[in-house]
Amino acid sequence: MTSSGSRFKPWDVVVVPFPYSDQATDKVRPAVVLSSPRHMQGTGVCYLAMVTSAANPRWPGDVPVSNLRGAGLPAPSVVRPAKIMTLNDSRIVKRLGALPKADQSHVVAAVRVFLAH
């Protein structure tokens, strides 16, 4: 556990059961933790952004992962901020690595584009 009370930190790349938006099933896949430690400690819930293969068709806002080894990813990948979900942190399967600092600001900027304000 981290000092926040959660096993995970913001920007961790983790493995989760991620739901398909058009089907009633999940796929175990990587995702990036977007929640603050305070939110995770208070709720036990994580906001997560999907990670997918860079070989898939690109979506607006996709952020290429610049350091695959540090993120724990085996192949070129992108964070897809257009696909965010919430999940109880007890359902996170494991931590793979962390999203490089260089990519974090790009993810934040992409998420802001998708939110109403």
Residue 107 tokens, joined: 């993810």
Q: What is the structure's pLDDT at 5?
A: 55
Query: What are the DSSP E strand ranges found in 6-99?
Result: 12-19, 26-33, 45-53, 63-64, 77-88, 94-98
Q: What is the structure's pLDDT at 25?
A: 75
| Residue 97 pLDDT > 90 | yes
Tens-digit pLDDT profile for residues 64-96: 999 999 999 999 999 999 999 999 989 999 999
Domain extents in the chain: 12-114
| Residue 106 pLDDT > 80 | yes
φ/ψ of residue 37, rounded to 5: -55, -40
Fold of the domain built from segment(s) 12-114: SH3 type barrels. (2.30.30)
- Rg of the chain over CA atoms, in angstroms? 13
Q: What is the structure's pLDDT at 4?
A: 42
Tens-digit pLDDT profile for residues 38-54: 999 989 899 999 999 99
DSSP 20: P
| Residue 2 pLDDT > 50 | no
Residue 53 to residue 77: CA distance in whole angstroms: 4
Least confident of 25-29, 58-62, 78-82: 25-29
